[in-house]
Chains A and B, each alone.
Chain A
Amino acid sequence: MLEVKDLHVTVEGKEILKGLDLTVNAGEVHAIMGPNGAGKSTLSAVIAGKEGYEVTAGSITFEGEDVLEMEIEERARAGLLLGFQYPVEIPGVKNIYLLKAALNASREARGEGEIPAPEFMKLVKEKLAFMKMDPSFLQRAVNEGFSGGEKKRNEILQMLVLEPRLAMLDEIDSGLDIDAMKIVADGVNSLRSEERAVLMVTHYQRLLDYIVPDKVHVLLDGRIVKSGDKDLAIELESRGYEWVQEESAA
């Protein structure tokens, strides 16, 4: 599904990713872990197409298509969706408008027509209930005045409505208390299916207790230096990243 090969990325002249390889297949949940500054957020930002990141070498393909050639919105419509670490506030723009505009854009890209209003409302209300969010929330401006937990829940709500093929979650657990984390994790778990994949970027093992990954990768200094299953995350928790660092240096 997602194929990242020998990816080199520089930001303001500084190389952040230094030859990263990653393959994500449909049906899998991957977790990328690593210390601050290792390049975790850079990876998801580059896949989503954020500006200011220069790809100097390597490739990213999604379902065989060259992602780097695609516009930001084309990537999203193809099913590559990013859950932001710091969701952006957009004053005056209601959540419901954003959701509807985004959903219709994706449907249009797939050659489907606009979703009828009643069907849309039914869908959204169902997902809202799942995320334990109040319907009044739809009338509020996107992320404006939201608490940290509300913002993160909003990210997952958008995922549930837009049903991405590959959901990338950038530090989705940061700033969440345990109850909110459970709701977020339930949301992410409900996305899991044979056709879909999830790529999580996280600093802490805690999240992985709730969203159990199929594969765990350690990102150190711009490269994936170690991969394994969920036990690797537990080992990281007890032994720290220095252990991997030493091992990979050896």
Chain B
Amino acid sequence: MATEEMERLVRREYTQGFVTDIESDTVPPGLDESVIAFISHKKGEPEWMLEWRLEAYRQWLTMKTPSWAHLDYPPIDYQAISYYSAPKKPEDRPQSLDEVDPKLLETYEKLGIPLHERAALAGVAVDAVFDSVSVTTTFKEKLAEAGVIFCSISEAIRDYPELVKQYLGSVVPQGDNYFAALNSAVFTDGSFVYVPEGVTCPMELSTYFRINAANTGQFERTLIVCDKRAQVSYLEGCTAPQRDENQLHAAVVELVALEDAYIKYSTVQNWYPGDEDGKGGIYNFVTKRADCRGDRSKVSWTQVETGSAITWKYPSCMLRGKDSVGEFYSVAVTNGRQQADTGTKMIHIGENTKSTIVSKGIAAGRSDQAYRGLVKIGPRAKRARNFTQCDSLLIGDRCGAHTFPYQEIGNSTATVEHEATTSKIGEDQLFYCRQRGIAEEDAVNMIVNGFCKDVFQELPMEFAVEAEALLNVTLEGAVG
């Protein structure tokens, strides 16, 4: 198949681009201490929280944007961004789905996410973040019965200040990096989960993040704490309406796993990637880190990244507890002019710690993709093991794929393995499928899905189906 055809195959329109018109209560663009005070006040936060934010802000002022990633984008004007935007009536927030603004529900319908149906049928509690403010939280009672706390971070700051104080910033400190510092100063919402000792969360927790107001950066803060022998599976999925300006997204996710705890964190990210020239897409600069504090704790990150103009994201694990386990499974698809610099860090500190990294990158169009990973084995991490596999598939001859795996190994009893390949969809594979009567586009999808299989099988069932569909949409073209 000729290259042009291949490119035609993978070119497609963003099918989830539309804007919901809900009046926003938005602060004018710009950032200084008074804006932070405004946010903190709006959220009804205690004094210590404001202090915490200001501390972060002051650190941020002294920092520089990182330049090491394999990315190319114009400098961001942080004074041109509005740092707060909320649906108009924050004081009478809906307590159930019936009270939710019908337009919001309509938006979810268009996205193909029948929220109420999904919530009722699949037994998934949904904490819908819409323009930075939690509009609804469901299944609270059922979770409360089990003793699980699942609420917006703002509520948590008000209702569970001791837990928040203990864990917030304990995995990703305020000054960890440029974007984390910015997030710490201005985050407006996000989720908080606490699963108490010995409890297995009775349902999968899911949050749909969306960006909706033009020119509004979104800064979620997610904190998940799993106490001893507790377990939780958290699903995060994102879609965004089509917009013309670049939108900054700088989230921070912190996971804490105590002894024998298990956290599974799955993401499907499908933000607007920009038009064919890359104009108008989301900048996605995320800090995700897990702290496997307790012995035998385990954290598993699974991500399917298909959206955003620029992605900068390295979900990481600090493996501190003995026998703790970190996993990272990732599929990243870039098309058009998208750029992605993503990967993971596995920091082995404790004895017998184990990590697995499986990264599958698919680059099409004029996109550029990098896997950047660090496996560090500390001197005390006796018998630590890591296995890394990272494969890239190139579609067309204008895209790029890069692998930058760092290994720092300081223990002789460690075993670290890394394998990487880069290849293209074989002409012969396509011919073989088509010679069995399968249409070209289906054959491409089939081969790509086969390529990603190792990662998809790590996703929760319903997410896996969604991910496969998303991949097909992403690689869909005008063949016909």
Interface, chain A (partner B; CB < 8 A): 48-51, 71-73, 75-77, 81-82, 84, 87-94, 97-98, 101-102, 105-106, 109, 141-142, 158, 162
Q: Determine if B389 is an interface residue (Cβ-Cβ < 8 Å).
A: no
Q: Is the CB of A101 within 8 A of B450?
A: no
| Minimal Cβ-Cβ distance residue in B for A52 | B427
Return the contact of B446 from the options A51, A84, A98 (Cβ within 8 A): A98
A142–B426 Cα distance when bound, in Å, is 14
| Minimal Cβ-Cβ distance residue in B for A101 | B438
Q: Is the CB of A73 within 8 A of B432?
A: no
Return the contact of A48 from the options B1, B433, B435 (Cβ within 8 A): B435
| Minimal Cβ-Cβ distance residue in B for A79 | B437
Residues of chain B with a CB closer than 8 A to A92's CB? 449-454
Residues of chain B with a CB closer than 8 A to A84's CB? 432, 435
| Minimal Cβ-Cβ distance residue in B for A106 | B437
Residues of chain A with a CB closer than 8 A to B1's CB? 51
Shortest distance from the beta carbon of A80 to any chain B beta carbon, whole Å: 9
Q: Assess A50 versus B446: contact at CB under 8 Å? Given A73-B439, A81-B436.
A: no
Q: Determine if B116 is an interface residue (Cβ-Cβ < 8 Å).
A: no
A101–B437 Cα distance when bound, in Å, is 8
Chain B 437-471 interface mask (CB, 8 Å, partner A; 1/0) = 11110100011011111100000000000000000
The residues in B between 325 and 362 inclusive whose CB is less than 8 angstroms from any CB of A are none
Q: Determine if B96 is an interface residue (Cβ-Cβ < 8 Å).
A: no
Q: Assess A72 versus B429: contact at CB under 8 Å? Given A91-B451, A92-B453, A141-B450.
A: no
Q: Is the CB of A50 within 8 A of B437?
A: no
Return the contact of B437 from the options A90, A91, A94, A105 (Cβ within 8 A): A105
| Minimal Cβ-Cβ distance residue in A for B431 | A50
A106–B442 Cα distance when bound, in Å, is 14
Residues of chain A with a CB closer than 8 A to B442's CB? 101, 105
Return the contact of B434 from the options A76, A141, A158 (Cβ within 8 A): A76
Q: Is the CB of A88 within 8 A of B454?
A: no
Q: Assess A51 versus B427: contact at CB under 8 Å? Given A73-B438, A101-B442, A101-B446.
A: yes
A71–B435 Cα distance when bound, in Å, is 10
Return the contact of A90 from the options B434, B440, B450, B452 (Cβ within 8 A): B450
Grouping DSSP codes into helix (H, G, I), strand (E, B) and loop, the B interface class, with mixed when no group exceeds half, is helix
In the complex, the 8 A-B pairs of residues with the closest C-beta atoms, listed nearest first: A92-B450, A93-B450, A76-B437, A102-B436, A92-B453, A72-B434, A88-B432, A105-B437
Q: Assess A51 versus B438: contact at CB under 8 Å? Given A92-B449, A92-B451.
A: no
Q: Determine if B141 is an interface residue (Cβ-Cβ < 8 Å).
A: no
Shortest distance from the beta carbon of A45 to any chain B beta carbon, whole Å: 9
Q: Which of B426, B442, B446, B449 has the most CB of A within 10 A?
A: B446
A109–B436 Cα distance when bound, in Å, is 13
Residues of chain B with a CB closer than 8 A to A106's CB? 437
Q: Assess A105 versus B438: contact at CB under 8 Å? Given A91-B450, A93-B447.
A: yes
Shortest distance from the beta carbon of A201 to any chain B beta carbon, whole Å: 15
Shortest distance from the beta carbon of B80 to any chain A beta carbon, whole Å: 44
Shortest distance from the beta carbon of B390 to any chain A beta carbon, whole Å: 15
Excluding A87-B432, A102-B436, 9 further A-B contacts by CB distance (< 8 Å) are A48-B435, A51-B1, A72-B435, A76-B435, A77-B437, A81-B436, A90-B446, A101-B436, A162-B436
| Minimal Cβ-Cβ distance residue in A for B426 | A88
Shortest distance from the beta carbon of A38 to any chain B beta carbon, whole Å: 22
Q: Determine if B428 is an interface residue (Cβ-Cβ < 8 Å).
A: yes
Q: Is the CB of A72 within 8 A of B446?
A: no
Q: Is the CB of B437 within 8 A of A109?
A: yes
Q: Is the CB of A51 within 8 A of B450?
A: no
A87–B432 Cα distance when bound, in Å, is 8
Residues of chain B with a CB closer than 8 A to A90's CB? 429, 432-433, 446-447, 450
A49–B452 Cα distance when bound, in Å, is 29
Q: Is the CB of A73 within 8 A of B446?
A: no
